[in-house]
Structure 1
Amino acid sequence: MSEGHLTPQSDDSNRHSQPERVAQFGRLRRYTATNLFGAYSHSFHLDHDEPTILTGANGTGKSTVLRTINWLSKGEWGALASIKFEQIRLEFASARLTVGKRKDGTLNVRLDRPSMKPKFWEFTPTQEPMDSWSAARARLFLADESELIAESWQEMEFLQEERNYRNYLMHSRPDNTPGWVKQIPSSFPTLLVSDQRLAPERKKRPKKRGAGDTIEVVSAIESAVLHINDEVQRYKSLYGTASQNLDRDFPRRVFTAMGAPRKFGTQMSLAKEFQDVQDLRSSLAAAGLIDATEVDESFSDLPLDNPDSLALISTYLSDTKQKLATFEPLRRRLEPFMEFLRRHYKGKTIRIDAQEGFQISSAKTGDEISPGHLSSGEQQMFVLSHKLLFESTPGTLVMIDEPELSLHVLWQSTFVDDLTEISGVSGTYFMLATHSPTLIAGRTDLRRSLDG
């Protein structure tokens, strides 16, 4: 493929058609890096329907490949400039992003898109007000693992200071970055999940007494549980509002339907529609989103042989579907999330309680299990699946660095299948960097070796 012309490609691998604003470039098809660390050149294509697995000896750049992709997506040019390379090229379904690095550290950024003129931009680290923050990010990401864990809190405090400094500079100095460069994050969304996914984080929580919020440091799994509980309550509130609005003028709409031309189905078709509604209600009740008492009995014994009865039942079913539809965005994420945990958490019950929220308990004794008391592997699975289903938008490239850390060997053997299943629900796609032969599990077709 020539550098001066980009041929449009159909994004047939993207089984989840997304709005233009979510991922304008389409899926990443190929990654190329030359002279990485002054020693390695890598080029590989990404798998269409299953996770792409990067392997290689320590030092060949597995983790760095993931980070460079993430830095490009997030526009962290200073972090990218802090490592040694000659050129990095990302080829998407409908775009190509090329970054070259000169000896003085300047980055030459080029964007090619079908039927558009190439766009160019230069980034010089010494002239970039956010460079110190980006470099700090690079130091954090490239630190030795033992050092990183030991100094994580110091690093987090330092990075917070750097973020504050960056925000100050952003508001005090003009930003000359071109608009098309600023749009790269929305055109090419990524999520990088590293071995720090269980690190504590600051979280706003309501005070037990008095008004306002307090800032606490909570574990990653507790933060995920709090987020799920917040989402459940938010959607229950939306459901309540929709119910009130529809119930308010239900009688009027029933009488209007009775006087309108007959557009209602037969008794048989309404019975099928009613059963579909009941199945959805049962599903929502099993997920803990509505009360089990809301699952109605059959109306087969009602007098449905006259038009007025059909009008009443038809209006009722229409209203019920509108009410339950408010849960749909949450249900699509929550059901596979809970099923995923139930499949992997042996001897444990997963449910959502109306008052207490997300609950994990012993299937044998019924005793509640605090999320923080789960094994590190169980916490990893919880936090990771939460990120994939609740923090990733459709079209996102999710990159997981060494997912085998803290995972039981049996979980490693099903991990690729698990991600493939989640991909079908979330519309995301995956790239992994791993040393685990168990995780690869003979899937040499998905493996991309960086050993040369």
Structure 2
Amino acid sequence: MNQVKHVDPGKPGISLSRAPLLIKSIRLTGLFGQFNYNIDFLDAGNETQDSVGRRLTLLYGDNGSGKTTILNLLWNALSASRSGNHRSYLGNCPFASLTIRLTNDDVICVKKDDSDLQGAFTITVSGKQANVRQSYIPVGEGVFIAVGEEGGVALSEVQLEFEMRLQREYLVSRHLSPAARRRQREQLSMYHETKGDAYVDYLDAVHANPYFLADDRQIYGDDIRHALNRREAEEEGPNDTKSFLGKELGLAMRRVHHQIQRQALDGNQKGSSGTNRIYLDLLSRISQRDFSKEGGTPVEKLLERLNRVAVRTQKYSEFGLMPALRSQPFADILRDLAPERAAMAEEIISPYLEAQEARLNALEETEKLVRTLVEQVNGFLQTKRLVFHLSRGMQVVSSEGLEQELSPHQLSSGERQILLLLSNTILARGNTRLFLIDEPELSLNVKWQRRLTSALLACTEGSGMQFVVATHSVEVITGNRGSLARLISEE
């Protein structure tokens, strides 16, 4: 059995999340009947939370060594959807066993039931609070279903009932293509949900919900809705004005806009509730204070605070998150104020500033997220730039001349890929703990390849999202040697 270790630890470029990661290590045996791998995702040689290797693992190996298959295995093993073909993929993929050790010390083991690398299999989960056993059997056309209650032996009448349903459907579906019949079987297998799937119930609780950027440049996830299916895209043809990725990008940009709108609304509501309390407090303080006998905060201190709030609101107004505070009229009045009225002025303006600060603090994470996305995308673009406004959403404009807005179809393939990847990364922050990426360097020039992983990590800072990336790019590897995992099999 091989040991895949991280080598040459590099210095992280950003501060990493303290949130728990998902996978500690995996052990894969008998892949294609010849490869055996142990992969450590937490970099045992460097266990500090600030190690980039704890959030990023780069799978590197020869062609045919199974990098893409490992990503597919992780995606299908950890995705909870009952309507997809996740467990069918595990049954059809040729391997002997897959053991996934999570950071909470739960151990997931997928093991084929006999020496045949393709066929019936059993998934077990063991841990402090987990004890799961679930078996799966093939029912034809490459489709697998869960059988038995709580992983018990499958009842013969259950399989017989399923086969009879398939036979009835076959009588009316003989004209369908093999792919259509396979999809039909997957849909038919849904009736078996009532029998239960203990492993899917476990995954629902874990909420890994992995996302997968495949080599077709689509991002897959159980909760990701695509603009149109691949068949529709093929029918439209290769015309760039109708490109599939262009429509995918347009949808992703709209989803980012809607998500940020929701976050901004939540933040403004929190700030508004804080404002109500502040003005009630103002009335209380004025009623209890004798201003004739007290001095107030020096006007200079009030001006400094006013300026700090104004600077922050100016930054937030760049993205339409809140209007900029025009501080000059306030400052002019404060500077001309008689000393004996300073205390009253303090009681009046302080609640106003507190109200502004309440909104700013509530919107702080949203502003940081938008700014990170815009800055990271613009780090790639040359003659174009990304702008964001809460009322208009994400827009790519020409940085020359009149800054005309460009549609996704007017961007290069590399620009579309970067925007799609980073947009979906933003969307994934609160939805997934694991992002799997297959050869992200495709369609990207050498300079962009060097920036890619740092951009991904920056856009997910604070989320605890874990990246597993299969790559052939020397540029990607060179900048992240501390995250490198070489696939070298041992017999």
TM-score normalised to structure 2 length: 0.69
| Counterpart among 347, 351, 354 of residue 318 in structure 1 | 354
Distance 1:166 1:260 in 2: 72
Aligned to 2:100: 90
Post-superposition offset of 1:373: 1.0
Post-superposition offset of 1:270: 4.5
Aligned partners of 2:24 and 2:103 also within 8 Å? yes
Alignment of 1:24-423 (within 5 A): 26-46=21-41, 47=43, 48-50=51-53, 51-75=56-80, 76-95=86-105, 96-103=107-114, 105-113=119-127, 116=128, 119-126=131-138, 131=143, 165=188, 169-170=192-193, 173-177=194-198, 181-183=202-204, 185-186=206-207, 188-198=208-218, 201-202=226-227, 219-235=247-263, 237-238=265-266, 252-260=280-288, 266-267=297-298, 270-291=302-323, 293-297=324-328, 299-301=330-332, 302=334, 303=337, 306-353=342-389, 355-365=391-401, 366-393=403-430, 396-423=433-460
**Residues 249-298 of structure 1: per-residue CA shift (max 9 Å, x gap):** 87554322323579x9944655454344333312211223234x445337
User: Which blocks of at least 5 consecutive residues in structure 1 are unaligned?
Assistant: 1-13, 135-153, 204-216
Aligned partners of 2:268 and 2:363 also within 8 Å? no
Distance 2:410 2:182 in 1: 29
Distance 1:112 1:261 in 2: 64
Aligned partners of 2:369 and 2:459 also within 8 Å? no
> 3-state DSSP class of the match of 1:424?
coil
Aligned partners of 2:124 and 2:133 also within 8 Å? yes
Post-superposition offset of 1:359: 2.0
Shift of the 356–418 alpha-carbon distance from structure 1 to 2, 3 Å rule, reads closer
Distance 1:220 1:429 in 2: 23
Aligned partners of 2:453 and 2:476 also within 8 Å? yes
User: Which blocks of at least 5 consecutive residues in structure 2 are unaligned?
Assistant: 1-14, 44-50, 81-85, 147-176, 220-224, 229-243
Post-superposition offset of 1:433: 0.2
Post-superposition offset of 1:78: 2.8
How large is the RMSD of aligned CA atoms in angstroms? 3.8
Shift of the 239–109 alpha-carbon distance from structure 1 to 2, 3 Å rule, reads closer
Which structure has the larger Rg? 2
Distance 2:355 2:179 in 1: 50
Post-superposition offset of 1:34: 0.7
Aligned partners of 1:53 and 1:448 also within 8 Å? yes
Aligned partners of 1:197 and 1:383 also within 8 Å? no
**Counterpart residue identity of residue 327, structure 2:** D
Distance 1:248 1:122 in 2: 54
TM-score normalised to structure 1 length: 0.74
Aligned partners of 2:257 and 2:390 also within 8 Å? no
Distance 1:89 1:265 in 2: 67
Distance 1:127 1:158 in 2: 12
Distance 1:74 1:156 in 2: 22
> 3-state DSSP class of the match of 2:29?
strand
Aligned to 1:147: none
Identity level (%): 20
Post-superposition offset of 1:242: 5.8
Q: Across the two proteins, how many residue pairs are aligned to each other?
A: 394
Shift of the 234–102 alpha-carbon distance from structure 1 to 2, 3 Å rule, reads same
Distance 1:395 1:181 in 2: 16
Post-superposition offset of 1:425: 4.6
Aligned to 1:138: none
Aligned to 1:448: 485
> 3-state DSSP class of the match of 2:198?
coil
Which has the larger displacement, 333-342 or 230-239?
230-239
Aligned partners of 1:54 and 1:433 also within 8 Å? yes
Which has the larger displacement, 275-284 or 340-349?
275-284
Looking at both structures, which has the greater relative contact order when contacts are Cα pairs under 8 Å and sequence separation is at least 6? 2
Distance 1:311 1:430 in 2: 51
Shift of the 361–78 alpha-carbon distance from structure 1 to 2, 3 Å rule, reads same
